[in-house]
Amino acid sequence: MLLSNFQIPSNFSLIVPGDKSVSHRSVLFASLAKGESLISGFLEAEDPLNTMRSFSKLGVEFSKLGNGQYKVKSPGKLGLISPAVELDFGNGGTGIRLSAGLLSGLQGVDTQLTGDASLRKRPMKRIIDPLALMGADIQSIPGDGKAPLKISGKKLSSISYKSPIASAQVKSCLMLAAIASDVELEYEEDELSRDHTENMFRFLGGSIKHLSKTHFKIKPPFSFVGAKFQVPGDISSAAFFIVFGLLAKSGSILIQNVGLNPARTGVITVLRNMGGRIEVENERSECGEIMGDLRVYPSQLKKVEITSDLIPSIIDEIPILTIAGLFSENGFEIKNSEDLRAKESDRIHAMVFNLQKLGVIVDETKDGYAFNEINKINSALIESFHDHRIAMSFLILKTLLENEIKIDDDSWIDTSFPEFKEIIGRLKG
């Protein structure tokens, strides 16, 4: 079985960047809310910054105060204006999909949304189709269901929608469309996806009627005023160092101020099921979100079944969970994860391709992959596929094994975790 000899420095602690999902939403809700807001703990990485830059072109003022704090002045949803230029969301799938919903419901606001080459390859029909059912005027410019998207904001219709996939992006897109247009939304999904939008909606005074755990209604009026938004540390970013701490030979890692939203803690559930020792300290609630500190100890991991109900809450953590699987007794298997093919890269293909380069025998399926217990990893040049989580996952593996694994391009890490390589440097001393 594969083992690491890496020893964590004594009393090692770190603070991960602000939650990417909550950072995007803080910009969107602060833009909808009339008056002055304060955002603290904002993730100053390219994806959420691109969302902020886009809404600054709609008439919202953002003033940087330092240390992830921003003062926001918004005229409210009725005062937002058509931008003079197209809105560029860079590599941010969350930014463009959620913004498309909000902008579709803004009457008289015309926009065109685009992004980088990677973003323009990602599917947008999952939001275009339900928005069209609400009466939205939204078009894929290439005509293939992908960005750029042309939107003419208008008064939308109320809708009752059952999503074919459990997706926080789809759910949030439709919620923001309904909020922007002051119409009713009834939404249902098979599994509970991340609920950051619901939490922020409630924090601002919105009321949600739950018909079941995965089925709810919201009704207008939706009149929000400025508020203080606190962004917790991103558990998806913390996951890389949770796995690192579990796989190291000795020592422990303390990760502070991590968001512990129950819809996001599937990665902790899976790693504990695998035998990982992860302790929560100083648990508290901020801005509708649970947060706390995580202390992680080296542990012997084993293969477990990852059930389908956990997939929505770990979809972004599957690449780093795969690295944990390389060190696990009896190997690793992931299934029911076809949505991985629609992320920043086709992450099923990206992980399988790179694992094979490392000498791992992998069985790929339509919705996942599997491999048996691993005893050896070869050195290789890893292809990041322009995907920050692929690059970070294999950089964690390289550091644990202290071998000659190389990453073709790790600049994509800055889209979500600008301090990542600096923390790796501190671990290595």
With contact defined as beta carbons under 8 Å apart, do 428 and 399 qualify?
yes
Half-sphere exposure of 188 (CA within 13 A, CB side): 8
For the chain, the farthest-separated pair of C-alpha atoms sits apart, in whole angstroms, at: 61
Q: Which residue's structure tokens are 């939308």?
A: 156
Residue 316 falls in the annotated catalytic set: yes
Coil, strand, or helix at residue 97? helix
With contact defined as beta carbons under 8 Å apart, do 253 and 279 qualify?
no
Helices (H) and strands (E) in the chain, counts: 13, 21
With contact defined as beta carbons under 8 Å apart, do 288 and 259 qualify?
no
Q: Which residues pair with 111 in a beta bridge?
A: 151
Q: Which residues pair with 152 in a beta bridge?
A: 110, 137
Q: What is the DSSP-derived secondary structure letter of residue 19?
A: P
As a 3-state breakdown, the chain gives helix, strand, coil percent values, each rounded to 5, of 35, 25, 40
Q: In what order do the strands lie in the sheet with 228-230?
A: 61-66, 69-74, 35-40, 228-230
| Alpha-carbon gap, residue 154 to 47, rounded angstroms | 27
Amino acid occupying residue 264: R
Nearest to 86 by CA among 169, 179, 148, 41: 148
Q: Which residues pair with 143 in a beta bridge?
A: none
Coil, strand, or helix at residue 152? strand
| Alpha-carbon gap, residue 27 to 51, rounded angstroms | 7
| Alpha-carbon gap, residue 155 to 21, rounded angstroms | 27
Which residue among the candidates 19, 293, 316, 339 is catalytic per the annotation? 316
Continuous H helices in 33-156 = 46-56, 93-104, 125-133
| Alpha-carbon gap, residue 63 to 281, rounded angstroms | 33
Tokens (6 digits) for 148: 């750029």
Tokens (6 digits) for 107: 């009457």
| Alpha-carbon gap, residue 262 to 258, rounded angstroms | 12
Tokens (6 digits) for 104: 């579709």
Catalytic residues: 316
